[in-house]
Amino acid sequence: MTVFPGFTLPDELRAIREQVRRFIQEEIIPLEQRLDPDAPEIPREDFVRLSGKTKEAGLWALGIPEEYGGGGLDTFSMCVILEEMSQHRMGLYVPGCGVFGRNPPPAIWAGSKEQIQKYAVPAVREGHETFWAITEPSGGADPAGAIQTRAEKRGDRWVLNGRKVFISRAHDAPWGVVFARTDKSKGRGGISCFIVEQGTPGFTAKPFKVIRTSAVPTDVVFEDCSIPAENLVGQEGQGLELAFDLLVKQRFPYSACNLGVAVAAHRMAIAYAKERSTFGAKLAERQAIQWMLADAEVEIRAARWLIWEGAWKADRGEDARVEASIAKLYSSEVLGRVIDAAVQIHGGYGVSKEFPLERWYREARVRRIGEGPSEVHRMVIARSLFRR
């Protein structure tokens, strides 16, 4: 979809955004209000019902290539849509509760036609979960040096041994991609990517609890886990290239979800300040509150511009690694500050489960770690400055 200079949105994209906005307000938010505030997902029958509606409306799998059953939107367009799609209680986990479809790990699109048809196409069509496993106990921010999981070629099979941690949904997703070291002597070039199916002997995933209630992380162990040779994705030794490509492309949509929830929290804070009175005046008349809201507005607008600029650059085929780090770093930290201000403005109600702010507050803390911690992104940005 063509985006014009100055980021004037095309009418088609504006129309899709409005459709998504109405769907979230009319279908998702009322449904969430009937569920437990910490519900990790919506009931299966509601998922089937609502995903049927999004398919009929042409809103299913918008970011997937058209030839594989998706809407074919580029990264920029998806960032615009995801800002709207994430504005609800579960929005920091799966925007729209998954009823708009889920994306399989981007690395799968570098696979063979057979792999795409066997794994990716059904995942897109059915909207089921997948996982991708790269983080290890020795550290996830430095995959080149931290990956110790090994993959050894034995005849017509690969045998995996090792451990991964903080792998979302690996305990129940039908399949996922795993990054393992195939040649110790080649450093960054000795890592490869593999498809591993649920139920494969030697593959176990045990969930554990963290601060958030959704996106259940798991501790994954591979013990002589034997998979077919054709489950290698791309070329041997290409794994790190695929991983970094995945991370860069994923960080813009990830950042857009941060932005969307920040927008929703900010909107709640403004509405509450206009209606709440203390000591004979509305909160909106208090300078302290005005400044909190003004600062949040400035940061939200700045985050949006950084996300849009980086996504636009990525869609043009330019190197957007630094822009991805900037967008992820800034949006995740802005999210935390905006929600914190909204909680403060709401007072006791801000930490009540009656409102989504309490859940967002906890989940926002995770966003400064997921997709690379803030410190690593600052390091990436700093290195780019010294290379100029």
Residue type, 302: A
Q: Report the alpha-carbon distance of residue 313 to residue 323 in Å, rounded.
A: 8
Based on the residue annotation, tell me whether 371 is a catalytic residue of this protein: yes
| Residue-level length of the chain | 388
Could you tell me the CA-to-CA distances from 283 to 62, 276, 340 in Å, in that order? 40, 6, 16
**Residue from 32, 83, 323, 371 carrying the catalytic annotation:** 371
CA distances from 153 to 20, 30, 100, 176, 241 (A): 47, 52, 39, 20, 20
Three-state SS string across the chain, please?
A: CCCECCCECCHHHHHHHHHHHHHHHHHHHHHHHCCCCCCCCCCHHHHHHHHHHHHHCCCCCCCCCHHHCCCCCCHHHHHHHHHHHCCCCCCCCCHHHHCCCCCCCHHHHHCCHHHHHHHHHHHHHHCCCCEEECCCCCCCCCHHHHCCCEEEEECCEEEEEEEEEEEECCCCCCEEEEEEECCHHHHHHHEEEEEEECCCCCEEEEECCCCCCCCCEEEEEEEEEEEEHHHEECCCCCHHHHHHHHHHHHHHHHHHHHHHHHHHHHHHHHHHHHHCEECCEEHHHCHHHHHHHHHHHHHHHHHHHHHHHHHHHHHCCCCCHHHHHHHHHHHHHHHHHHHHHHHHHHHHHHHCCCCCHHHHHHHHHHHCCCCCCHHHHHHHHHHHHHHC
| CA distance linking residue 119 with residue 172, whole number of Å | 15
What residues act catalytically? 371
